[in-house]
Each structure stands twice: as structure tokens, then as C-alpha cells.
């Protein structure tokens, strides 16, 4: 899966267009990142930049932007309505896809360390990356702001996480860390401002005060009125959409609106939204309405429709969903996205990759897809109407396996290339030998874990495929047979790749564990294939 990190640096300049554009240009010039938004504010004298990319790429882009700011922003002359303590005031990193919060903590630390070393400025860590309990939030660290920073730096408790205590007048100090993705989400009401705010108070976590807390955790909200639209809105910040998803906020607002006899006219997302947030909503409405939807695109459209996200203006998924903006889609790489002809020619070329591992993943994905097809050719047809409930249960795991195996086609080749890069590292000195040895070990384990993950994914297909063979459309029996053989072949291919890469791992408990897992999963694949073929043959007699 493609790793995506969002970075939202706030620079203390919101009026000088040349400086604002110079910082934006530095980000745009960085490979592997996409600048999504530049939001300057004259009264705050502050500009918020939003860009996304891989873990290493966002760090490089943030440093490039900071270099421009260091040359062009002078905090001794800065005035603005927003609290601030530095030219690059705060630089949070937010996990979006395929990246854990723990990984983002390491990313923030890398950025902070490099920023302090390169520019000679003090840097503090906050949020999940904070090193001290009394300075986890921005208000705690910003207390006294830029004007009080010189005296603050000499206090032992306020020694920076990176850099010295020396006050840098032109810069001040920077805070970096990790936070969850914040969704700015508005719900439209045919009501007054006061009615909208009344519902907002019911919903938001702080409610009306300590004795009257609201119903939704990780939710900030107020009510306001839009004169140009002639409607009110509940304006929400969902600070952790895993705790309070958009659809939960929307449905709770609808309950309160119904009690007040207020019309709800859809909702809107301000800025960008992670794909997972829309899929959460889709799964809720699929379950609530007992729908049967498999494809991601259709799920996204369902969420847009049920939440009314296009009520005020069209919601274009390609422009509003982060993963689609950066072309990440479902994490399928170049090999998986290419044509069959390109893939076959690539395998046949005089290169070691793509090789057997990528072919095994391709074959396995086709096997799961054939099982899905048999289910699709059974579901919704009048003569097999009695099987609809079974097909609703059996098709999704096979479909999920088929789609989720696609990234594995590229993963095997990427793991092999990473191993070869590690092997080629210099080893002229003892230090270089140590670096190379560690890199080779990490890369070797990855070449084993990738095919082992393929075996585990294949293992999830046998139970639904065997049942599909017992009840599915028998006009498609050859597809079931081919599908089972493809999955078994994929398992054999993954097993062989585990074995060949184990040769690069020293003897020990870890090596034995990998081998045992691979052998067990291969035997389960052989039994699964036999079971599918046996069921088909019984029904064909």
C-alpha cells in the first residue's frame, strides 16, 4: 500500500504575496509531493500550506519550505492576530494512508532534528511526539509567544527538543509533531443561526460546559448562517474521524433537527477528506439499508449521495479525496496498473524482476477474481434467487482478496530491488560494513514477509471458495476449477519465494518460524484446492 503523509506547516506570513508564493514554489519543486492548498490570512498574517507525499518526501518538502522562510521572514517585524512563536510556527505531520502514528512521530523527529541542525534554530515536539507531559499542546508551548521566547529559552524546563537555547530573533522557534487528520465538515439546515448553534452545542464534545457535555467525542462545533445560501450550518471540526465519523455527526444532527422540525439539506466537506472517511460512511449505509455494493467507486458515490455532499457545490472525488488527488487509488503500483502484454513482456525480459513472486501474486489475484465472478453470475438471477443471501456473504471476501492482492504484484519486485540496493552498499570501512549488514538484514526480511503475506491472503479465500463450489452457478464450474488451481499455484509460488529468500537469513528461531508458517499455509492451500475441485466434480456427476 502506498504510504501517504499529510504535512500542514503554518508560516508567519500572510500578506506578502511574493514570500507566500516562494514558499509554495519550494514545495512544488520537491519530487514525490503534491501541494494541495495554500491558505493565507491577512489579519492573522499567517499562511497554512497543505501538501502530501511519502514519509521521506514530505520531510524534504517541509525543509525546503523552511529554508525559504528562513531567508525571507523576519519575526522581529511580525504582527498578527494569531498566536505564534516562530517563522515556521508549527509543522504537524498527519498519517493518511499506510502510515502509523508511531511512524509519523519518527518523521516529525527527523524533521525537527534536521531543521535545528541546518538552520540553527530551536525546535519543540508536541502532540503524540511530545517528550514532556507539560508541553504536549500548542497553547502550552506557545505561552508567551514570540515576545516571551528569549526569556523562556533560558529556563531549563523549556530547553528545546532539538537545537540550542540560543534565541534567533529573525526566526523564533518551531513546533513540530503529530496529530490526527482533522475533517472540516458542515451540515446544512433550513433554520436560523440560533437553532443551528443549539444543535451544535448538543453535539460538540465540550457541550454547554463541564456540567452539560455534548454527545460526540473529538468534535468541535458552532452554528452560523450563510446569507448567500439562505441557510444555516452546523460547522464541525472532527479531530478524530475514527472516534466520530462524518456519518455519525450527520445522523445525530438529523435527529436533533427532526425534533425541532428543521429541514436538513445535505452537508459539505471543507477542503480534502481521506478515502477511509467516505468508505466508513458507505459501509454504514450499506449495512443500514441492506445494500450489496462491492466496488470502491460505487461506495464513494453512495456516501456522497447519502451525506448530500454535492448539495451546495459538486463534490468531485478526484479533486476532494486525498488519495485520488495524489493518484494513490488502491495502492496498486505500475506493474499492477499496466496491461497484460506489458507485464508478460516485462517478465520475459532479461531482468530478474518482475519474477516469480510478482507472477504468483498475479495468478492468485486472478484465482480470487474467478471465484468472485462465479458469485456474480449466481447473484441476482431469478433461477438462483434463493442463493442471494449466500452470495452476499461469499462474494465480498473473494472480491476483497482479488483487489487486495493487486498491490502484491509490485510489492515483490520492490522488495527484491530494495534487497539488491542494500547488497550494493559500500563496505570499505567497519562502519560501512555495519550499515550494509543491517540494511541487508532488513531487506531480506522484507523479501520473506511479502510472499508470506501473499500466502496468508490466499488462505482467506478457501472457505468461501469451497462453499461457492457447493452452491454456485454450475455453468461456471470450469471457472471455479481454474480459480482454485490459480490460487494453489499462487501459494506454491509464494512458498518457493519464501524458501529462496530464507537462504539469505541466518539460522535461528525467526528463520524457523518463517519456514513453519510457509509450510503450514502451503498445505492448507493444497487441501483447499482439492476441496474445491472435489465439490465441483460431485455436482458435475
Question: Which pLDDT tens digit goes with each residue over 44-90?
Answer: 899 989 999 999 999 999 999 999 999 999 999 999 888 899 999 99
Percentage of the chain lying above the pLDDT 70 cut: 99
Tens digits of per-residue pLDDT, 481-499? 999 999 999 999 999 999 9
3-state secondary structure of 133: helix
Q: 476: cis peptide before it, omega within 30°?
A: no
Q: What angle do CA 441, 447, 448 make, to 5 degrees?
A: 90
- Edge-to-edge strands, sheet with 183-190: 219-226, 231-238, 183-190, 263-270
Running DSSP on this structure, what letter comes out for residue 162? B
Beta-ladder partners of 377:
none
Percentage of the chain lying above the pLDDT 90 cut: 75
* Band of residue 516 on the pLDDT scale cut at 50, 70, 90: very high
CATH of segment(s) 334-540: 1.20.120.680
- What are the domain boundaries of the chain? 4-178, 183-325, 334-540
Q: What is the DSSP string of 487-526?
A: HHHHHHHHHHHHHHHHTTS-SSHHHHHHHHHHHHHHHHHH
Residue length, the chain?
541
* Fold for the domain defined by 4-178: Formiminotransferase-cyclodeaminase; Chain B, domain 1 (3.30.990)
What is the arithmetic mean of pLDDT over 375-379?
94
Beta-ladder partners of 34:
52
Which helix H or strand E contains 264, and what residues bound it?
Answer: strand 263-270
**What are the b/e assignments for 275-291, b being 16+ CB within 10 Å?**
bbbbbbbbbbbbeeeee
Tens digits of per-residue pLDDT, 174-222? 999 998 888 989 999 999 999 999 999 999 999 999 999 999 999 999 9
How far apart CA 41 and CA 26 sit, in angstroms, is 20
pLDDT computed for residue 330 by the predictor:
56
The catalytic residue positions are 82, 412
CATH of segment(s) 183-325: 3.30.70.670
- The owner of cell 527538543 is 161
Q: Is the pLDDT of residue 91 over 90?
A: yes
pLDDT computed for residue 24 by the predictor:
96
C-alpha cell read off for 508 = 535461528
What average pLDDT is seen over the chain?
A: 93
β-strand pairing of 10-11 with 88-97: antiparallel
How far apart CA 253 and CA 236 sit, in angstroms, is 11
- Phi/psi of residue 441, each to 5°? -65, -45
Amino acid at each position: 500500500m502506498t504510504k501517504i503523509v499529510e504535512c500542514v506547516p503554518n508560516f508567519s506570513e500572510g500578506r506578502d504575496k511574493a514570500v507566500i508564493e516562494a514558499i509554495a514554489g519550494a514545495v512544488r519543486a520537491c519530487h514525490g509531493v503534491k501541494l494541495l492548498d495554500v491558505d493565507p490570512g491577512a489579519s492573522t498574517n499567517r499562511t497554512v500550506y497543505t501538501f502530501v507525499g511519502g514519509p521521506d518526501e514530505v520531510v524534504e518538502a517541509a525543509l525546503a519550505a523552511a529554508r525559504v522562510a528562513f531567508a525571507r521572514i523576519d519575526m522581529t517585524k511580525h504582527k498578527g492576530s494569531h498566536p505564534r512563536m516562530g517563522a515556521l510556527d508549527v509543522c504537524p505531520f498527519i498519517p493518511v494512508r499506510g502510515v502509523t502514528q508511531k511512524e509519523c512521530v519518527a518523521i516529525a523527529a527527523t524533521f525537527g532534528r534536521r531543521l535545528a541542525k541546518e538552520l540553527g534554530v530551536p525546535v519543540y515536539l508536541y502532540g503524540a511526539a511530545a517528550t514532556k507531559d507539560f508541553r504536549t499542546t500548542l497553547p502550552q508551548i506557545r505561552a508567551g509567544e514570540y515576545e516571551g521566547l528569549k526569556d523562556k529559552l533560558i529556563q531549563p524546563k523549556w530547553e528545546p527538543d532539538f537545537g540550542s537555547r540560543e534565541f534567533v530573533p529573525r526566526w523564533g522557534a518551531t513546533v513540530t509533531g503529530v496529530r490526527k487528520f482533522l475533517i472540516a465538515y458542515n451540515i446544512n439546515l433550513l433554520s436560523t443561526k440560533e437553532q443551528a448553534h443549539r444543535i451544535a452545542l448538543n453535539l460538540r464534545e465540550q457541550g454547554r460546559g463541564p456540567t452539560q457535555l455534548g454527545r460526540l467525542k473529538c468534535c468541535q462545533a458552532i452554528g452560523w448562517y450563510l446569507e448567500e445560501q439562505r441557510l444555516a450550518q452546523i460547522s464541525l471540526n472532527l479531530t478524530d474521524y475514527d472516534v466520530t465519523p462524518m456519518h455519525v455527526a450527520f445522523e445525530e444532527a438529523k435527529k436533533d433537527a427532526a425534533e425541532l422540525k428543521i429541514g436538513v439539506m445535505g452537508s459539505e466537506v471543507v477542503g480534502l477528506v481521506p478515502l477511509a472517511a467516505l468508505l466508513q460512511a458507505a459501509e454504514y449505509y450499506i449495512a443500514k439499508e441492506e445494500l450489496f455494493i462491492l466496488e470502491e467507486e460505487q461506495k464513494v458515490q453512495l456516501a456522497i449521495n447519502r451525506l448530500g455532499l454535492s448539495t451546495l457545490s459538486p463534490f468531485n472525488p478526484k479533486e476532494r479525496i486525498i488519495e485520488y488527488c495524489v493518484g494513490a487509488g488502491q495502492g496498486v503500483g505500475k506493474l499492477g496498473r499496466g496491461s497484460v502484454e506489458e507485464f508478460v513482456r516485462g517478465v520475459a525480459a532479461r531482468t530478474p524482476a518482475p519474477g516469480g513472486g510478482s507472477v504468483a501474486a498475479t495468478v492468485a489475484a486472478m484465482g480470487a477474481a474467478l471465484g468472485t465472478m462465479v458469485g456474480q453470475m449466481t447473484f441476482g438471477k431469478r433461477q438462483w434467487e434463493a442463493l442471494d443471501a449466500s452470495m452476499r456473504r461469499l462474494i465480498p471476501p473473494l472480491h476483497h482478496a482479488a483487489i487486495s492482492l493487486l498491490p502484491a504484484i509490485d510489492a515483490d519486485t520492490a522488495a527484491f530491488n530494495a534487497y539488491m540496493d542494500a547488497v550494493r552498499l559500500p563496505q570499505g570501512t567497519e562502519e560501512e560494513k555495519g550499515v550494509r549488514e543491517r540494511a541487508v538484514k532488513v531487506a531480506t526480511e522484507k523479501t520473506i514477509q511479502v510472499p508470506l503475506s501473499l500466502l496468508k491472503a490466499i488462505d482467506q479465500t478457501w472457505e468461501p471458495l469451497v462453499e461457492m463450489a457447493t452452491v454456485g452457478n454450475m455453468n461456471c464450474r470450469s471457472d471455479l476449477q481454474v480459480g482454485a488451481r490459480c490460487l494453489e499455484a499462487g501459494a506454491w509460488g509464494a512458498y518457493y519465494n519464501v524458501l529462496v529468500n530464507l537462504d539469505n537469513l541466518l539460522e535461528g528461531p525467526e528463520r524457523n518460524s518463517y519456514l513453519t508458517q510457509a509450510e503450514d499455509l502451503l498445505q492448507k492451500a493444497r487441501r483447499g484446492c482439492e476441496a474445491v475441485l472435489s465439490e465441483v466434480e460431485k455436482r458435475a456427476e
